[in-house]
């Protein structure tokens, strides 16, 4: 079956612009996670959704970052007024339920470059 998909695969933007990153989870997975992988910080948790609600937003680095999930499926991560330090690979993962007993399946990521 289809895995987690993310779009775009690459995004180059200018400092100060807004960007939207999209994640399509595996069908039937109720939990969805966003992580960021950067050279200086490694892999960091950003936010997770159970259904359409986000019980844990603790990893969002600033109020320029937001995410939503509609219909319990697709999620969008929005970064406003991008900064060079936002450059990273943004990873999305989904699992059947939000539980350590359910494996998180990762997408290929979106590589964001802020010039």
Partner 1 sequence: AQSVTQLDSQVPVFEEAPVELRCNYSSSVSVYLFWYVQYPNQGLQLLLKYLSGSTLVESINGFEAEFNKSQTSFHLRKPSVHISDTAEYFCAVSDQGAQKLVFGQGTRLTINP
Residue ranges binding partner 1 (CB under 8 A): 31, 33, 35, 42-45, 48, 50, 55-56, 58-59, 91, 93, 98-101, 103-104, 106-109
By beta-carbon proximity to partner 1, the closer residue of 10 and 15 is 10
Q: What is the closest distance, in whole angstroms, from the C-beta atom of residue 105 to partner 1 in the complex?
A: 8
By beta-carbon proximity to partner 1, the closer residue of 43 and 115 is 43
Q: What is the closest distance, in whole angstroms, from the C-beta atom of residue 98 to partner 1 in the complex?
A: 4
Taking phi over 0 as left and psi of -120 to 50 as alpha, with beta for the rest, 41 belongs to alpha
Backbone angles phi, psi at 77, to 5 degrees: -105, 125
By beta-carbon proximity to partner 1, the closer residue of 82 and 95 is 95
């Amino acid at each position: 079956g289809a895995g987690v998909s993310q779009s775009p695969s690459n995004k180059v933007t200018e400092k100060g612009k807004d960007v939207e990153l999209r994640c399509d989870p595996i069908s039937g997975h109720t939990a969805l996670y966003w992580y960021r992988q950067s050279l200086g910080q490694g892999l960091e948790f950003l936010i997770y959704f159970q259904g359409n609600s986000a019980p844990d937003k603790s990893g969002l680095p600033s109020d320029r970052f937001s995410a939503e999930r509609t219909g319990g499926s697709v999620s969008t991560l929005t970064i406003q007024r991008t900064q060079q330090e936002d450059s990273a690979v943004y990873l999305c993962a989904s699992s059947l339920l939000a539980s350590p007993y359910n494996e998180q399946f990762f997408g290929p990521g979106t590589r964001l470059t802020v010039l």
